[in-house]
Structure 1
């Protein structure tokens, strides 16, 4: 939002939020490293010389010999697996404590989608003899008492789903292999439909505020 904001005080606010978030990220990473809990991305060989792409095989995916994954592709696979693992853990906890059946069913469906997408990303890493991050499901407590309202939990899942779609779009732009790009497009469409059903649930329960929108000039002229 920062490049689209013009009021000085609002830009200062966003810059303060970014700065404090970066400090929190740095502190959290240091704590995880000190306790041996940080999940590192796979190691790959260092480049010894510049190697230019000379053949279209660099883009190939379904037929012929596939090239190894690039560092960017590995990073995005690893990151998207981690965020899906976190989403699975959060949505499992929310599903255990949600009061309304349709909200619980929605969370259960989201858990299955996330697990399936983790398998797709993990296969790419395993095919290249690389490890995939481990699940965090065991960290979810076995409680059925909710600390949050169904409205807040559904909103949180909707925001996480929207962030996931953005992550897939970023990963798609950095993945030249056609099979990888096709999978990102397919999975992005799948969670897009899931996000739409989440909005329909918010509308059904009167939990969705209508955002500011442009004037309907045609209607005004009538």
Structure 2
């Protein structure tokens, strides 16, 4: 959650002009950074932090000399870059988190429709993990573990269904943002194409979640531009 907060606050801050709002988001970034560092240090001290794959240390600067650097499906295929590995690893982790959360939410939800929606999210996360994991496995790189075994066998929900739907919506939004960044930084065509294709699936899942929230009267309308046509009708 702190990773998502850092990404969101970092995206908002450069687009704010008012001093008090800039100061607010700056404080949010500072406190979230502190929480992230505390959380990571705690995980490391307990041996629970899942480390990203190691790659050889580069001792010289190499320049790209062939267009095949961009190839992915046909012809010569280069090894994954450190940036591509980082994003594949991170997106496996976020999908693993989503997989565990939807598994738990699906089994405690009293609404058949919401339970079915959570199970669908679980299947999507599993599919995306498998696709990203194949890229790492082909490079003989480790694939991070999932957390499904941490979900307890209970059917009584500690949260409201409104809160559960909001949490899944937040994770879906963060997932699309993560894929967008990965697309822009993944030079191999096959890797970028996977992100593009899977982004559409997450967007459709998120839209269906919004429709469930609207049906239940849970979705608050955000501030929006003035409706000039509606204003003119009132004259």
TM-score range, shorter chain: over 0.9
Equivalent in the alignment of 1:39: 50
Q: In structure 2, how many angstroms separate the alpha carbons of the residues matched to 1:28 and 1:202?
A: 32
* More divergent stretch after superposition (38-47 vs 114-123): 38-47
Count of aligned positions: 222
Q: Name 1:193's counterpart in structure 2.
A: 204
Q: Which runs of 5+ in 1 are unaligned?
A: none
- Output one character per residue of 1:58-83: Cα deviation in whole Å (capped at 9) or x when no partner: 00011012100000000000000001
Q: TM-score, normalised by structure 1?
A: 0.97
Match of 2:147 among 133, 136, 144: 136
Following TM superposition, by how much is the alpha carbon of 1:221 offset from its aligned partner in structure 2, in angstroms? 2.2
Q: Distance in 1 between matches of 2:102 and 2:24?
A: 31
Within 2, Cα distance between the matches of 1:171 and 1:65? 22
5+ residue gaps, structure 2, are: 1-11
1:1-222 → structure 2 map (5 Å cutoff)? 1-222=12-233
Separation (CA, whole Å) in 2 of partners of 1:38 and 1:184: 25
Q: Please, what TM-score do these two structures have when normalized by structure 2?
A: 0.92
